[in-house]
Chain A
Amino acid sequence: MNPRRFVVRVFAMARKEWMHLGRDRATVLFALGMPVILLVLFGYAVSFDIDHIPTVLVDEDWTPESRSLASHFSSGATFELVATVGSAREVERLFREGHAKVGLVIPKGYGRELARGNGRVQLLVDASDNMTASSVLSYASRFNVWKNHELLRVHFGNRADLIEVRGRALYNPAIRSVVFLVPGLIAMIQSMMAVILTALTVAREWERGSMEQLFATPVGRLEIVLGKLLPYFGVAMAQLLLVLALATWVFGVPIRGSMVALLGISTLFLLATLSQGLFISVMARNQMVATQAAAVSSMLPSMLLSGFVLPIENMPRPLQIMTNIVPARHFVHALRAIMLRDADLSVLGRDAFALVVFALVMLVLATRRFPRRLA
């Protein structure tokens, strides 16, 4: 094989694909709009940070102590006082109607009991929303500790022997779930987009009938595959940069590590997923089948087996091993390492290796399974 002729044909193919894209406004719009929409939608949906929880207050005591407690409780962003009612019964009514999720009940005599060192209040939580409930309960116990420390200091001053365990959250000081989740989200969105982009290209040639004309020329299978890969790599890279920019602008996700490393690992990841799409496209002869195969084979693994929401460490062993063949898993890991921790590049070695292997296997499969005749 003459390498110069090879390049001529790959570029002829790539140029043609690029022109198709140029003529196809809808696809370009879809390719650039969809990731943005997905990121924003999912970004807000997966923000597990729970704040502004609608809270009702039942203050049966009505003393300076009780009011101080109530105002302290609702002073942060976590709870938002939406109503003050007369009894615990009414709190339940508001729960059922969905107006509130938390009720703080300060019983009559709280102020008096507090002076005796025995202040008790009740916190009602609507636990049908377990996520909110557990975060409220953990907040309540933290609140307990703070309050008691404060009281001890008031009574004993600095003589008090207090133990205080202070946690400091590194890399994500405000412990915002978005910061952790957005890299995973980017990997998931990009997996889907890249696979779908290329999945249609070969199937389209079959449907249009142009495959017959293509087969009548001496163009090689690898030339077709590579020629189709190139332009879509450009599109996918544009998508990825767009999504990364959005992640930092809209969700405040930092990029602490090296931009070069980020682009490098992104290149490998996109080559892997685009090749996956090409393989699907070669196997499916119509765009319907290709779209469905692309959606299922990219979305499920990148959502469930990438470590994006479900931690891989908690999975059963066989599943953990399986995650190695999910490109998104390596991309999620690498993105978090680069963006959040500015990790040493050596931790990316495994990811890079896995992505390269995946891309090569897919390219070889796509080329091998590419028919060279009609029947």
Chain B
Amino acid sequence: MSAIIEVVGLEKRFGTFQAVRGVSFQVDRGEIFGYLGANGAGKSTTIRILCGLMTPSGGTASVAGHDVASDPEGVRFSVGYMSQRFSLYPDLTAMENLDFFGGAYRLARRARLRRAEALLGDVGLSADDPRTAGAMPGGVRQRLALAAALLHGPQVVFLDEPTAGVDPEARRTFWRIIRKLSDSGTTVFVTTHYMDEAEYCHRVGLMVDGALVALDTPSGLKRAHVPGRLFAVRGTGLDVARLRELAGVTHVEPFGAGLHVRGDLLTAEVLSEAVRAHGGQGVLVEESAPTLEDVFLAVAARSSAG
């Protein structure tokens, strides 16, 4: 199966500032591809280039067979885009917004109204909702924006932090829709700050300061970047410096209210013993499965060190 997105050595400079540094990857048809990274890592910039909204400063990228630099028009017909900042018209209703964007995609009036109605149903909105987009709660508004990105039946949709600032229930609803899209063959390229959401992606790319530093399936990433056994340690008086020096311990990272400790030859008993010996109180040690958060911490620590 051929890749629907092909990116080779992609670069983007704004003046002297380099926002994207030589990024290369491929995305397969129907895949849910997650893009993770801290603020300013270059996620939105990459998406904008892939949608034909910005010209790359170097490298090549093609989406659905169209080169983003030389055929942005072809790209626009093949992709849907949901920007990070809500960018539909807040003074128009859901239907009015979709009517307009459908027109912008050259759909004839009757066809686009029918399509808009169907899509609104798919994302759980009503065609005769009298509210203007500006008056809708965040989660509803995001689903409307998604419907707008899907109007012309694109092969790929780019979703830039579609669930930012949305409550957990609404996030789950949103991800159900994303999975349905993927099942029906649409490729989904999504950025997020929520690590739990990244677990739903088929593959995840990690961006640090404009560079793609890791790319794999969530479990592959964990195997590669969080090797050994992982223990969650809770309690008071935890001494991070001392723990790092313990035999068998390879990593200690603050995680939530406690610590995540990694090591190959550790067991929960040995570890809890050692923690208590170094002044820990109310200590609770449990072996746990690594999360993408651990991956992210490990990769980010390594990248900033190197």
Instruction: List residues of A whose CB falls within 8 A of some B CB.
Output: 5, 8-9, 11-13, 15-16, 19-20, 23-24, 208-219, 372-375
Contacts and interface: CB of A to CB of B under 8 A. Distances in A.
Contacts of A9: 103-104, 106
Interface residues of B, number: 37
A305 B172 CA distance: 64
A216 B106 contact: no
B88 interface: yes
A101 B109 CA distance: 70
A23 B91 contact: yes
6 contacts: A8-B108, A9-B103, A12-B102, A20-B91, A216-B79, A374-B53
B88 A375 contact: no
Contacts of A217: 76, 101, 104-105
B99 interface: yes
B91 A216 contact: no
Interface in B117-156: 132, 148
Contacts of B104: 9, 12-13, 214, 217-219
Q: Interface centre among A5, A20, A23, A213, by most B CB within 10 Å?
A: A213
Contact of A213 (B14, B96, B101): B101
Interface string B105-117: 1111100000000
B25 interface: no
A13 B80 CA distance: 19
A19 B103 CA distance: 14
Interface in B40-75: 48, 51-55, 72-73
B96 A216 contact: no
A8 B110 CA distance: 11
A79 B148 CA distance: 72
Given A5-B106, A8-B108, A373 B72 contact: yes
Contact of B89 (A210, A215, A375): A210
Nearest to A10: B103
A16 B106 contact: no
A218 B104 CA distance: 7
A99 B88 CA distance: 63
A213 B92 contact: no
A372 B72 contact: yes
Contacts of B105: 217-219
A2 to B, nearest CB: 8
Contacts of A19: 91-92, 96
A209 B85 contact: yes
B66 to A, nearest CB: 12
B86 interface: yes
Given A8-B106, A208-B89, A213-B87, 9 more contacts: A5-B106, A8-B109, A9-B104, A16-B92, A19-B92, A20-B89, A20-B92, A218-B76, A375-B14
